[in-house]
Copies of this chain bind each other. A is one copy, B any other.
């Protein structure tokens, strides 16, 4: 249960005391980080709106304290002195990661950090209120403050490349617009083509279970069972409900996932849970000896998302998954699931259609939703778009890309919490996650040719064991792209994702391959 310090026996004796000092400071930074996670988790799971102002200030205070610790000149001394010593690989990597965090922090004045923290926390609350009221005008001033602060943050950080890069880099270290844009564009053109072909083909008809009610409690029980089945350790974490499913790690052994349940749409809770289980198992899978150090983190959000989307889509929307779980559905839901076998669930969960809500989108159009967001936030950061014009720009983009136009902003620009809460540059990591998941899955298929029969029998430990070894335990020892290259042997490439999608959807829609 307790993690030791990074193995002291391999440290040169001279620097041992200094290293212990650094570890103590790193631990404190992680304590603060995990407290922020709890403040955020509680805000979404437990807090009532009346607590929002105080919570926003608490979150800002915590960020300022963390910033103060990270920019403390005594930390610099310690890091410099240690950098001059002979360190083993894990220690070098820890120093590298700490250096990166510190360098970024040094460019942001404390006053700005508080202002940004307040803007983001208040934006998240304004978003919640504006959604309840269905009124973008209630969000606009808070969102304007956030966007202004993010532009300022990007300018202060001032990485090479364009302004957006300084935000993107937080989530996907080393990634730049110049490299990302071509990848996304060529992915888009292939997806648009496939999407069009599917739209022209005979559509998937409604399945017997659709339209029936699936009681809330039984759905909850099913999601808890799924968590246990796939390997999420419920003794070292928990599941709750929230309006928008998410995962927060409060400690290596205290990982919280959430789900949401809709009695009319049983697939919604199942996929929310599988998605968050993917994130949650990653968070539970870091090497315990590096607990509370930068090594016990995902190297990038894209890689994190590769895990959630692999479990949600590649596993959860597979035919073999439903061969396993269709009988479970009938057992748990009786009449509601009656007459729906594996094939019916498989077809229903893979129905492709233009839709307004990203998190409910099929695997083909999902990335088109992301691309719309990416281009809009890029325009915001390039000063080519202002917040007041965002709803119209959003609706136009949906009409153009997917041929449908949101009737209101709750179904449109207000569907995601990301922008109001300051996560700009975050959306592309979802698509990168899909790309990574395609690459990693191809490697896994090669390593475990019997994967279909494993999943059909409900044995997920083959996949989880492989991911633990290849992806989870290494943590941030390598950069995300380096990790994927080590595992797959190739550079960032959307080929495997497209092959996977074609391999699934062409037969499903009767298209010639």
Contact = CB atoms under 8 A, between A and B. Distances in A.
Contacts of A2: 53
A484 interface: no
Contacts of A251: 51, 53-55, 58
Contacts of A253: 48, 50-51, 53-54
Contact of A236 (B34, B51, B61): B51
A35 B62 contact: yes
B39 A42 contact: no
A238 interface: yes
Interface stretch (A11-19, A24-32, A201-209, A311-319): A24-32
A10 interface: no
Contact of A31 (B48, B58, B238, B291): B58
Nearest to A60: B31
B1 A53 contact: yes
A340 to B, nearest CB: 31
A274 interface: no
Contacts of A57: 27, 31
A241 to B, nearest CB: 13
Nearest to A2: B53
Contacts of A28: 61
A58 B34 contact: yes
Number of copies: 2
Nearest to A234: B48
B38 A1 contact: no
Contacts of A277: none
A63 to B, nearest CB: 11
Contacts of A234: 48
Nearest to A32: B61
Contact of A50 (B1, B47, B292): B1
A235 interface: yes
A252 interface: yes
A237 interface: yes
A46 B238 CA distance: 8
Given A2-B53, A54-B292, A251-B51, A38 B31 contact: no
Contacts of A238: 46, 48
Contacts of A38: 38-39, 42
A35 B58 contact: yes
Nearest to A255: B51
A79 interface: no
Contacts of A240: 46
Contacts of A39: 35, 38
A2 B252 CA distance: 36
Contacts of A301: none
A42 to B, nearest CB: 6
A388 to B, nearest CB: 26
A98 to B, nearest CB: 17
A267 interface: no
A253 B54 CA distance: 8
A250 interface: yes
A254 interface: yes
A424 to B, nearest CB: 26
Contacts of A32: 61
Contacts of A55: 250-251, 254
Contacts of A34: 54, 58
A157 interface: no
8 contacts: A27-B61, A35-B35, A35-B39, A46-B238, A48-B253, A54-B252, A55-B254, A65-B65
The 8 A-B residue pairs with the shortest CB-CB distance in the complex, in nearest-first order: A51-B254, A54-B251, A50-B253, A31-B61, A50-B236, A31-B58, A51-B251, A2-B53
